[in-house]
Structure formats: C-alpha cells, structure tokens
Chains A and B, each alone.
Chain A
Amino acid sequence: MELTDIAIKSIYAIVVVSVLMGFCSYAVLAERKISSWIQGRVGPNRTTLPIIGSIPYVGRFLTRLGVFQPAADGLKFLFKEDVTPAHVNKLYFTLAPVLSLVPALTTVVVVPFGYFENAAGEVVNLVLADLNVAILFLFAISSLGVYGVVLAGWASNSKYPFLGGIRASAQMISYELAMGISVLPVFMWLNAPGTDGTLSLVDVVNAQGGALWNAMWMPGSFLIFVVCIFAETNRLPFDMAESETELVSGFHTEYSSFKFGLFFVGEYAHMLVGSAVVAVLFLGGWHPLPFMTWADFGVHGWLAGVLSVGTMIGKLCGFMFFFMWIRWTLPRFRYDQVMRIGWQMLLPLSIANLIVYTFVIYFLERP
C-alpha cells in the first residue's frame, strides 16, 4: 500500500469517526425531541449561542429546535467533577467506559455507507475496510462491548452496578446466539451454490440491488435480528443493565462526568452502528427502492455518491427513530422474561428460520 493510500484511508477514518460522534450527540437531541413529541412536551429549546442565536428568525428557530443543546451537554460532561469513589478498582473503573465505546467505533470500519463512480466509470465503495469476513468481524468486535458493562459493574464495587453488570452479561451472551443464527440465511443466500464465497457487507448490499430486499423475503430473520439489536444495545424494553427504576442506573450508577459521558455516547454509537447494520443487511443498504438501484434512475458519477450516502443515512435515521419510538412506548421486560424470550423463543425460532431458508435457498435458483 502506498503512502497516499494510507493517508486517504486515515483521513476517511477520521471523517467517519467524527461524523459518527456528531451523529451520536445529535441522536441524543433527537431522542429528547422525539420523546417530547410523543409525550406532548416541547423538549430542549433554551440553549443558544451568543451571536448565532441572535440572528433574526434563523437563530430563534435553531434555538427552539435545540440545535445547540448537544454542545452544552458535551461541555457539561467535560466540566463536571469526575468523582471516583474510594471503594472502586481504579484501573477497571477507568477502563470500562473506554471499552464500551471503542467496539462501537471499531465496527464502523466494515460498514459500507455508499458508492460513487470515479472518472473511469468504476464503482468505488465507500467503506473503510471491505473485509471479506466483515460480518464475522462485526460480531466479534461488537460482542466485546459487553466487557465495558460487565467491568463497570464489577469495578464499581457497589450493589446496584453489580446486579446491572450480571444482568447485562447474561443478556448479551444470550441474544448474541440468536442474532448470529438469524443472519445466517442472508449469507447462505449470498454463498448459494454457484457463487463466489463472501461474507462482505458490500456484497450483501450489491446482492440486494435490483432485487427484493432481504427484509421482504426473510421477515423472520429481520424480526429476530431487530429484537436482538434492541437487546444488544441495551435499549428499552431490554435495558436490564440500566433499568433505572430497579437498579437506580444499573452499571453506571457510580459514574459521573466524562466517564458517564462515554457510556452515554457509547450507547448511541451502538444504536447507530446497529441501525446501519440493519439497513445494510436487510433494508437494501443504499438502494432507493426494491428492484431499483440509483443506476436505474440514471444517476451516475459523484451524484450517485451523494444520493447513495443520503439513502443510507436516511434509512439509518429511520431505524433510529424506530429505536426511540419503541423506547417511549413500551414498558420494560423483567430480567427472567428477557432470558426466557432469548433462549426459549428467539433461539428456537432462529434455528427454525435457518432450516426453512436452507431449503428455500437450496431450491431457489440464483438469477
């Protein structure tokens, strides 16, 4: 690899990570605005900046939209006193929030966000690393995320975080099984007899171009995967590790200031990556419509890049909205019910789903 290649990749990596972090902070704002919309409230509408806020109409509109709120929230996390209780294991206590954020940022590497056509008319995929084992990499890294939660619960040396950590570890391990099995049909289809073997996410999207999206003809896989994503990201109705009415704040009860901020951002980063993976695996990635690609609309060149990334982000945002919608509508499951759903319902269902699609794919002919 040449030096320029490395430089381009590095810049692209920095861009992707900063865009993701930006999305995270605005996802927090979106969560607050959407929750207030659902609940008939107004939501954050006071934070403003000295000069921009006083621009007529625009400044007022932005303020009421809460656009400056994420900046204030971030600063708050930075400047608050960072309390480290005396009874904690300092190394693990500091390591835990980092460990919960890093996997989310790492998995972004293999998630494709679009494509464009260069001057030579070649299709270039916008992905940091087009690994041929992308899905394995994704699962491997994202399951490391549980270590952050478990370590936080353990290092806090306190009862509520301890219970939260136990719940999180049990829950995430249980749901990973069903999640892994539920996506197998997608890749079996991709590796059907007579095709080149691949586990790349780019190829998943390409296979859905000009065809039915996977969610449409694999609804079972899609539903199981979505439920598992909810459980994996610790969102309501599966937020056992946090469950604030029982365990106060669960695993991050003892955390404050920036360490808490890392957990907070980590949760949204997980959600964003989860939404992106759902969009790539089941919702056709950057393809605008089933059976239609941007090329079918006659879009080529850099415009295709813009539109494909826009489509991808649109799907991602739509799924994020779904995340939030569920959170503010449903009550929380009980811990043992979560485990029962994971082991007694989702796991058998995903295995049955796998068997059914094994036969379906065997008898279907690939176009």
Chain B
Amino acid sequence: MATESKEYTMPDAGARAAQASEEFETEKLELSMGPSHPSTHGVLRLNLELDGEIIQKCDPVLGYLHRGDEKIAENMTYNQFVPYTDRLDYLAPLANNAIYAMAVEKLTGIEVPERCQAIRVLTSEMARISAHLLGLGAYTMDVGALTVFMITFTEREKLYTLFEELTGARFTTSYSRIGGVTRDMPEGWTDRVLTFCEEFLPLLDDVESLLSRNRVFVDRTADIGVISKEDAIAYGLTGPNARASGVDLDLRRDAPYSGYEKYDFEVVLGENGDCYDRYLVRMEEMRQSVRIIRQAIDKMPEGPYRAEDAKKIILPHKDKTLTSMEELIQNFMITTEGPQIPAGEVYFEGEAPKGALGFFIHSKGGGVPYRMKIRGPSFCNLSILPKLCVGSMVSDIPSILGSFDFVMGECDR
C-alpha cells in the first residue's frame, strides 16, 4: 500500500516570509511613502504597513493636489474652464481639451465640422503618444533604467515643438473651444507631424530592444502587480491598465466620438494583467496612435475648423468684430456671458491616454455650468492599490506605480 505523502510545494520568498511572520510574533513597520517621494509621481502618499520588506497593508492617501476644479467650474464660463482641463492630466492636455469640449457640445447638440473632428483626433493621438512616452520613461526610471527616460523625453520635446506650432503653448495648450478649436493647423504642420512619426517608430523599437527582453526588467515587472480581468472590471479600471488585464474596452471603438469610427486601428489587449503587460500595451498603443495619426493626416477634410453657424456658442472671427455690428455684439456677449448652453444634464466620456475621462455637466442654461463632475481615470485606476500592493515587496511599489502611469493632477482635480 502506497503511503500518502503531502504534496511538497516551494513557496516563493514572499510567501515564506509571510508564513514565518505568522509563526513568530514580529513588530510591523509603519512606513509613510510620500507625499513627496521619488516613485510616487507627484503627491500620492501610501501608508504602508511592512513586515520586513513585505507589504501587509497599503493605504493610499489622496488629496494633496486638490484644487477644487469642479467647484471652480461653477464660477466661470464654459470656455474659461478649458485651461483648467489642461491641468487635469497635464501630460496630455490636448486630449482633455477635446473631450471636455465634446461633452459641452453634446449638451448643446451642435455638430462640429469634419475637419475639426479630424484635428481633434490627430491632436488626441499625439497627446496619447506624449503621455505614454512620459509614463514609459518614468516607469523605467522607477525600476532603475535611467536612460530610457532621456530617450523618451527627447521625443516628447519634438512633440512639444509641434504642439507649440499648433497652439502657441508647449505644455498647457488650451486648444479646444466649445464648437471647435482655437485655430487651424499652420501650413506644413502635418508634414512635420509625419516626419515625427517617421522618426518615432524606429526609436520605439530601440526602446523595446532595451527593455522587452531585458532580463532584469522582465524580472522586475513580470508577475508583479497582477490584476485579474474580474478585478479590473470590479474596481472600474479603464484605459491601458484595464486592457492589459484583458478587458476589451476602448471608447474610441466602443462608443466612437469625433469620427473615430472612420479610422482603422487595433485595440491592444494584454493577457496577464501584470506590470510587464501594462508596459507592452502602452508600447503597442503608441504604434496604433501613429497609425491613426497617419490616417487622420491622409484623410484630412477641407472646410471650416469650427462650427461657424453656432452663433451663440463660437466667437466671431477677430477681423470682423470691429467692423461689423452683428459680430461685435456676438463677441461681447460670448466673452462676458459665455457660450449659451441649453439647460440639461449630460455625461460624456472619451478615451484619454490614462483611461476613460468623463465630464458630467449639469446646466441650468446660460454660460456657466451649474455643477460639473469630472471622472478622472487615474483616480479610479488607483482604487485597486490597497488590494494590489498587499503581499508584494517594497521594491515592487515603484514597478506597480510606474506601470499604472497615473497623474495626480487628474486624480485629485
């Protein structure tokens, strides 16, 4: 008769340490990571309870960057709030500008011209590349590879130059207006964007060759911070973080806006939901963004770049305001009272680089919103941290936070 033997398993270091700490009474170390800490990207604070290097409890403390954007919105006209959307996810202001304008336009019911839609798609995708590049650079810097950060920043510099040519500002672009964009694309600008795309793709391959099969990088990220598909849905994750867990959700495809249905691109999905998959998803999304940019430039329609017939919404052209009575009054009314938005409620969300950025606007008519609520994807993405960090090591915190690619400006609003 065969004797039954217990199946022998070799738990990993973390599990063994946890087991050991159950057997011996040990003291827990309370560690306050942040709000000013190299790997918390801004002012996130994590109150950790450590057993040796193993995290027993993780308690994120938010609100260090709270500026009351939602309340501020109640005191200014719709157009005046555009600069505040720059400061939500300040790494991709162009995407925020566009999504905010689209939310108000949805409430108003105006249609922007096709050229404006294409410009918004184009700039949103450029913003996505810019945001993912920074996320990638900061992520790799957190796990210790310092050079990738410089490579990605050089590329962002080129993007910023392009943004400057388009909007007049490098960082806080404030490009959208309700009913359009501030100005048309300058001459030859699209060619320069195409040149950038041309130079950018080989560089992305370079970065990939530095990281994707780098044993140290894979060790630091693979099977770290694993989010299951169910958890990703339950905690309301969106964007690349959710897609890395296999959640097939991309608002650009599922709820097309601004003419996204006309573009051919793939929604990149991960399998394991670990830090490494989140890195891979972002890398591939940048390539897809380049695809969309090329299509947008290729099919760029002619015509007005803003809804010229929405007289109570859009400012008249400057050259007419001092020569024509009609335009002068229009200019005066819109600058003082704001664009006239009908009463009602609307919720609109679009695919920002970090995930679904949503604006809920309650209007009682007039030029000022009665209440505005912003759904910041970073905030919802971070909600999973207390669950995710437990059981991992202190050294995994930079990998996890880096792979989440959050922005506190959007988180705390």
| B-binding residues in A (CB < 8 A) | 35, 38-41, 159-160, 163, 236-237, 239, 243-248, 327-337, 339-340
Contact = CB atoms under 8 A, between A and B. Distances in A.
Given A163-B53, A243-B395, A328 B147 contact: yes
B164 interface: no
B397 A331 contact: no
B141 interface: yes
A207 B150 CA distance: 45
Interface stretch (B112-120, B215-223, B382-390): B215-223
A39 B150 contact: yes
A330 B39 contact: no
A2 to B, nearest CB: 53
Contacts of A332: 143-145, 216, 220
B13 interface: yes
B216 A331 contact: yes
A350 to B, nearest CB: 20
Nearest to B210: A329
Interface residues of B, number: 31
B147 A245 contact: no
B35 to A, nearest CB: 13
Contact of A40 (B14, B39, B150): B150
Interface in B128-156: 140-147, 150-151, 154
Given A39-B150, A329-B147, 12 more contacts: A159-B31, A236-B144, A245-B38, A245-B141, A245-B142, A328-B146, A329-B210, A331-B144, A332-B144, A335-B394, A335-B395, A337-B219
B398 interface: yes
A227 to B, nearest CB: 12
A330 B14 CA distance: 24
B372 to A, nearest CB: 36
Interface in B165-215: 210, 214
Contacts of A239: 144
Contacts of B154: 40
Interface in B49-73: 53
A246 B29 contact: no
Nearest to B398: A245
Contacts, number: 81
B396 interface: yes
B144 A41 contact: no
B36 to A, nearest CB: 9
B255 to A, nearest CB: 37
Interface string B347-366: 00000000000000000000
Contacts of B214: 330-331
A331 B145 contact: yes
B398 A246 contact: yes
B20 to A, nearest CB: 13
B37 interface: yes
B397 A246 contact: yes
B393 interface: yes
Nearest to B211: A331
Contacts of A335: 53, 393-395
Given A237-B216, A245-B143, A248-B37, A334 B150 contact: no
B14 A41 contact: no
20 contacts: A35-B146, A38-B147, A39-B150, A159-B29, A159-B31, A243-B144, A245-B39, A245-B142, A245-B143, A246-B39, A246-B397, A327-B146, A330-B145, A331-B144, A334-B220, A334-B396, A335-B395, A336-B395, A337-B220, A340-B13
Contacts of B144: 236-237, 239, 243, 245, 330-332
B219 to A, nearest CB: 6
B145 A329 contact: yes
Contacts of A243: 144, 395
Contacts of A333: 216, 219-220
Given A39-B147, A245-B39, A336 B396 contact: no
A41 B140 CA distance: 18
Contacts of B394: 163, 246-247, 335
Given A243-B395, A245-B398, A331 B143 contact: yes
A190 B398 CA distance: 47
Contacts of B29: 159
A160 B32 CA distance: 10
A328 B146 CA distance: 6
Contacts of A327: 146
A31 to B, nearest CB: 12
Contacts of A330: 144-145, 214, 216
Nearest to B54: A336
Question: Which of B150, B214, B395, B397 is the most central at the interface, judged by chain A CB atoms within 10 Å of its CB?
Answer: B395
Interface string B1-42: 000000000000110000000000000010100000111000
A199 to B, nearest CB: 35
Contacts of A160: 31
Contact of B53 (A35, A336, A340): A336
A245 B14 CA distance: 21
A122 B143 CA distance: 54
Contacts of A35: 146
Contacts of A236: 144
Contacts of B398: 245-246
A32 to B, nearest CB: 12
Nearest to A335: B395
Contacts of A244: 38
A226 B143 CA distance: 22
Nearest to B150: A39
Nearest to B154: A40
Nearest to B392: A334
Contacts of A334: 219-220, 393, 395-396
B220 A331 contact: yes
Question: Which of A245, A248, A330, A331 is the most central at the interface, judged by chain B CB atoms within 10 Å of its CB?
Answer: A331
B409 to A, nearest CB: 21
